[in-house]
Amino acid sequence: MSWGTWIDLNAGNDAMKWPYPIRYGQEDAVDVDVLVLGGGIAGCWAAISAAEQGAKVAILERGSILGSGAGTGCDHWQWAITDVPGVSLSAEDFTQALVDNHGGYNNGISRYIQARDGYETLLELEEMGGKVRDTEDTFKGAEFRDEQTKLLFAYDYENRIVMRVWGMTFKRALRSRLRRLGVDIHERVALTGLLTERRGEDATAVVGATGLNVRTGAFNVFTAKATVLCAARPQRIWTYSTELAGSCDLRMPGAMGGGYAAAWRAGTEFAMMEKSIPAGLSINPSAPHGSGHPSNTWYPCTIVDANGKEVPWVDRDGHTLETFEERCRPAPGQRFFIKGGGQSSLPHQGLRDYQGPRLTNVDTLVEKGEIELPLYADLPSLPAHERRAIFGLMVGQEAKTKHTYANYTHAGFDPDRDMLLSYQQLIGGGGYGTSAEGAKTVLGFPSIRNAHSGTTGGPVVDWNLRTNLEGLYAAGDGMLGGNDHSHAATTGRYAGRRAAWFARQATARSGSREQIEAEKRRVYSPLQRKDGVHWKELLAGINKTMQAYCGAVKSEGLLRMALEAGEDLKHVVDTELAAVNPHDLANALSVVDILTAGIDIIVPACLARRASSAFLHFSRAEYPAMDPPEWQKFVTIRQEGGVVKQGERPLNLGAPFEENYLAHRPAAPIGA
Ligand SMILES: Cc1cc2nc3c(=O)[nH]c(=O)nc-3n(C[C@H](O)[C@H](O)[C@H](O)COP(=O)(O)OP(=O)(O)OC[C@H]3O[C@@H](n4cnc5c(N)ncnc54)[C@H](O)[C@@H]3O)c2cc1C
């Protein structure tokens, strides 16, 4: 059956009739001080903090605020440093460690904001109704509990830089606060583009955005004095299969790059877009989310083989850890560890200074016949508090895994008695973070990659979290170096205040009619065709192009072939892309956004870096030397008039952190 027939079938079938009134082309106009794009964690916080400053705020979200985004849950609030009870590190020190751990390829500005404002933000969230303490005393006496504050910690119990929290309560608390503050909420509206105005010779200002209602097909025109980009980062660039993998990526499948594509078209500067990691953990979400393992949520679970033999844990120096307690302590002579878990062969353990305990290399043990597959997460053998902190608290609170918790419990799974199958040996090279030796390691699916797992590339920001475009701010996963929940919360909160402050001084804005009409023509063009290429087919073409020409090892020739294939795909968009209803149309436009992220942003970024880099997992065939000194810098790209402009920025972005933070610190809420 061709896609054309499929579309015809749906269009003519009464049972498949579209349930909402169709309003194609009709305009809904909104004018505000601050417009927030995306209603995930960063977006909610940005809207709240801007509204608390007295700004008139609107937020647009493709799904529903309550259920959308990667942050519908959260089991660990990481890397809050300043004022956390029992933490002796400074935010400056910790930020420097995070930056160094990525070879300098991190965003020191946003990471310092996270370390410095993380605890303050958590307390504000608690005041809104988020649950952050063990008020029922379930974990009384546990080693990871601060008895005075009832806060629970994870990973490194000595240094307490990560907290266990009840993240399923967070989104509801944020939405209540949005409503109470009178933020104008537009759900089921997908961002399609930014409205811009020229400011002199080579400056552009963002003056709002356009959106498509995914239910009615109506066109939304938002004008604003300041706009905060919080639409996270694109997924599905190298792979997508609802049928095989159950989804496509570790992150939210609804994150399809609308924010990146709109920002790119408007002229935003991006950095680190050449970084991607082999898909492994990230290609099949059932691995991290439906099974037991020794990382992240499941840290530091014991893993046993088919015969019940324990897979040994080792510290950063490879010394075998004899006791369970040692898994939550730094190695002798180590100050603290940033993250533990995984296994010692994975390419994402970071610098030795900050490496946490992990499993001995499973593949080697299997090859030597020392352990036998399959592996299991041995919950019953754990100390009772640890067992319940994993399967109970954390698995129940980490967004998608709440379904694992609910369904497995309903089916009779009992962590006091039962083990859970582990896919640790299948995980390969995907996952979190980066490392010095990473690019050389061939694990997982080397040519099926993920540009947006771990600390990633994105729009470059300054200490106001403003991009290079006047009036456009960015926060959360959708900015250079974004990756996690408290980072999204703190940067959203910070950017919202800066945007409100800017809006107070800015004059009224209005989008140009010509720009709006051009965007309407682009947005509705797939409706012109019933018979044609459907979004899934187009996406398959994009994925194949990226796998074949922008895979594990890149070269000038391959990357040029990617650009050529990209031109063919763009021709398909212009002449054949078809959609039959508003939802289908929104999906089609999102796949065009993925095309922009892959072909227009990532491929030129890969061409621009003419050196291999271990930290970026970036291998150029013609330039095999890893990280030569002259290439230890951010390569930046932006487009102007359809031409890619290349630039560079030094590593250690934002340093000295404290000094710069204090010089730019946003004002407290009015009345506070
Ligand atoms: C299953 C899972 C568990 C996680 N657990 C943790 C954890 O315990 N701790 C932790 O620190 N991190 C965790 N993370 C990561 C964390 O959730 C994210 O880093 C965080 O949600 C990022 O916030 P954000 O606002 O930038 O993006 P999101 O929360 O993903 O929000 C982006 C929003 O933008 C919307 N959007 C996208 N495109 C458009 C468009 N074109 N138009 C309109 N709206 C659009 C999306 O619908 C979404 O609501 C987890 C992630 C996943 C997937």
Residue 79 domain flag: no
Q: For position 445, what pLDDT does the model report?
A: 60
270 and 294 fall within a common domain: no
Calculate what percentage of the chain has a pLDDT beyond 90: 75
Residue owning the nearest CA to atom 52 of ligand 1: 70
pLDDT tier for residue 340 given thresholds of 50, 70 and 90: confident
Given a cut of 70, whether residue 544 has pLDDT beyond it is: yes
Place of tokens 């352990």: 371
Residue 289's nearest CA partner among 392, 374, 405 is: 405
Q: For position 309, what pLDDT does the model report?
A: 97
For residue 66, report the distance from its CA to the centre of ligand 1, in Å. Answer: 12
CB 165 within 8 A of CB 131: yes
Q: For position 633, what pLDDT does the model report?
A: 98
Residue 538 domain flag: yes
Q: Which tops the pLDDT comparison, 80 or 363?
A: 80
Q: For position 11, what pLDDT does the model report?
A: 52
User: What is the rounded CA–CA span in Å between residue 486 and residue 401?
Assistant: 19
For residue 315, report the distance from its CA to the centre of ligand 1, in Å. Answer: 31
Q: Which tops the pLDDT comparison, 575 or 343?
A: 575
pLDDT, tens digit, for every residue of 62-78?
Answer: 999 999 988 888 999 99
Given a cut of 70, whether residue 638 has pLDDT beyond it is: yes
Q: For position 252, what pLDDT does the model report?
A: 72
36 and 185 fall within a common domain: yes
pLDDT tier for residue 362 given thresholds of 50, 70 and 90: confident
pLDDT tier for residue 449 given thresholds of 50, 70 and 90: confident
379 and 402 fall within a common domain: yes
**Minimum-distance ligand 1 atom for the alpha carbon of 74:** 8
For residue 455, report the distance from its CA to the centre of ligand 1, in Å. Answer: 14
481 and 420 fall within a common domain: no
Tokens linked to 513? 């009619």
**Minimum-distance ligand 1 atom for the alpha carbon of 43:** 25
Q: For position 343, what pLDDT does the model report?
A: 66
Domain that holds residue 487: 27-73+102-127+167-275+450-512+660-664
**Where do the DSSP E strands lie in 533-632?**
553-554, 619-620
The residue among 394, 429, 464 that closes a domain is: 429
Residues 6+ apart with CB under 8 A from 13: none
Q: For position 240, what pLDDT does the model report?
A: 79
Residue owning the nearest CA to atom 37 of ligand 1: 231
The amino acid present at 120, given as its one-letter code, is E
476 and 527 fall within a common domain: no
365 and 320 fall within a common domain: yes
pLDDT tier for residue 5 given thresholds of 50, 70 and 90: very low
Q: For position 668, what pLDDT does the model report?
A: 54
Q: For position 203, what pLDDT does the model report?
A: 83
Among 35, 74, 453, say which to mutate for ligand 1: greatest number of ligand atoms within 8 Å of CB: 74
**3-state percent helix, strand, coil for the chain, nearest multiple of 5:** 35, 20, 45
For residue 484, report the distance from its CA to the centre of ligand 1, in Å. Answer: 8
Q: For position 341, what pLDDT does the model report?
A: 83
User: What is the rounded CA–CA span in Å between residue 414 and residue 556?
Assistant: 54
Residue owning the nearest CA to atom 19 of ligand 1: 484
Given a cut of 60, whether residue 1 has pLDDT beyond it is: no
179 and 259 fall within a common domain: yes
Calculate what percentage of the chain has a pLDDT beyond 70: 88
468 and 419 fall within a common domain: no
For residue 574, report the distance from its CA to the centre of ligand 1, in Å. Answer: 31
Given a cut of 50, whether residue 432 has pLDDT beyond it is: no
pLDDT tier for residue 200 given thresholds of 50, 70 and 90: confident
Residue 543 domain flag: yes
Alpha helices in 53-107 (DSSP H): 91-101
Residues 6+ apart with CB under 8 A from 330: 156, 158, 159, 336, 337
**Minimum-distance ligand 1 atom for the alpha carbon of 254:** 47
Span 129-134, mean pLDDT? 98
**Claim: this prediction has a pTM higher than 0.85:** yes
For residue 477, report the distance from its CA to the centre of ligand 1, in Å. Answer: 7
Residue 217's nearest CA partner among 243, 188, 242 is: 188
**C-alpha to C-alpha distances, 460 to 273, 336, 553, 594, 640, nearest whole angstrom:** 11, 29, 26, 19, 16
Distance, first Cα to last Cα, the chain: 63
Place of tokens 């942050």: 71
For residue 369, report the distance from its CA to the centre of ligand 1, in Å. Answer: 41
Q: For position 293, what pLDDT does the model report?
A: 85
Place of tokens 């705020």: 57
Residue 147 domain flag: no
Residues 6+ apart with CB under 8 A from 206: 194, 195, 196, 227, 266, 469, 470, 471, 472
CB 294 within 8 A of CB 300: yes
Given a cut of 90, whether residue 425 has pLDDT beyond it is: no
Residue 625 domain flag: yes
**Minimum-distance ligand 1 atom for the alpha carbon of 492:** 25
For residue 466, report the distance from its CA to the centre of ligand 1, in Å. Answer: 20
Among 62, 121, 166, say which to mutate for ligand 1: greatest number of ligand atoms within 8 Å of CB: 62
**Minimum-distance ligand 1 atom for the alpha carbon of 257:** 38
Among 484, 583, 585, say which to mutate for ligand 1: greatest number of ligand atoms within 8 Å of CB: 484
**CA 166 to chain CA centroid, nearest Å:** 20
**CATH number for the domain that contains residue 634:** 1.20.58.100
pLDDT tier for residue 446 given thresholds of 50, 70 and 90: low
Q: Residues with beta carbon inside 6 Å of ligand 1? A: 38-43, 60-63, 68-71, 74-76, 78, 167, 190-191, 230-232, 250-252, 254-255, 258-259, 398-400, 476-478, 483-486, 488
Span 514-542, mean pLDDT? 95
User: What is the rounded CA–CA span in Å between residue 87 and residue 95?
Assistant: 14
For residue 597, report the distance from its CA to the centre of ligand 1, in Å. Answer: 18
For residue 69, report the distance from its CA to the centre of ligand 1, in Å. Answer: 4
Residue owning the nearest CA to atom 27 of ligand 1: 232
Span 592-603, mean pLDDT? 97
What does the mean pLDDT of the chain come to?
Answer: 89
pLDDT, tens digit, for every residue of 216-238?
Answer: 999 999 999 999 999 998 888 88
Residue 95 domain flag: no
**CATH number for the domain that contains residue 204:** 3.50.50.60
Residue 342 domain flag: yes
Q: For position 439, what pLDDT does the model report?
A: 34
pLDDT tier for residue 256 given thresholds of 50, 70 and 90: confident
For residue 525, report the distance from its CA to the centre of ligand 1, in Å. Answer: 29
For residue 254, report the distance from its CA to the centre of ligand 1, in Å. Answer: 10
Given a cut of 70, whether residue 516 has pLDDT beyond it is: yes
Given a cut of 80, whether residue 429 has pLDDT beyond it is: no
Number of independent structural domains in the chain: 3
Least confident range from 331-335, 363-367, 381-385, 451-455: namely 451-455
**Minimum-distance ligand 1 atom for the alpha carbon of 165:** 8
Q: For position 95, what pLDDT does the model report?
A: 97
Sign of dihedral through CA atoms 670, 132, 229, 58? negative
Residue 37 domain flag: yes
User: What is the rounded CA–CA span in Å between residue 108 and residue 654?
Assistant: 5
CB 103 within 8 A of CB 436: yes
Beta bridge partners of 213: 189
Given a cut of 70, whether residue 179 has pLDDT beyond it is: yes
CB 402 within 8 A of CB 170: no
Between the ranges 192-196, 275-279, 441-445, where is the mean pLDDT highest?
192-196
Query: Residue 485 CB: number of other CB atoms within 10 A?
Result: 26
Q: For position 484, what pLDDT does the model report?
A: 92
507 and 359 fall within a common domain: no
pLDDT, tens digit, for every residue of 377-410?
Answer: 999 999 999 999 999 999 999 887 888 899 999 9
109 and 53 fall within a common domain: yes
**Minimum-distance ligand 1 atom for the alpha carbon of 255:** 37
188 and 62 fall within a common domain: yes
Q: For position 48, what pLDDT does the model report?
A: 98
219 and 329 fall within a common domain: no
For residue 232, report the distance from its CA to the centre of ligand 1, in Å. Answer: 6
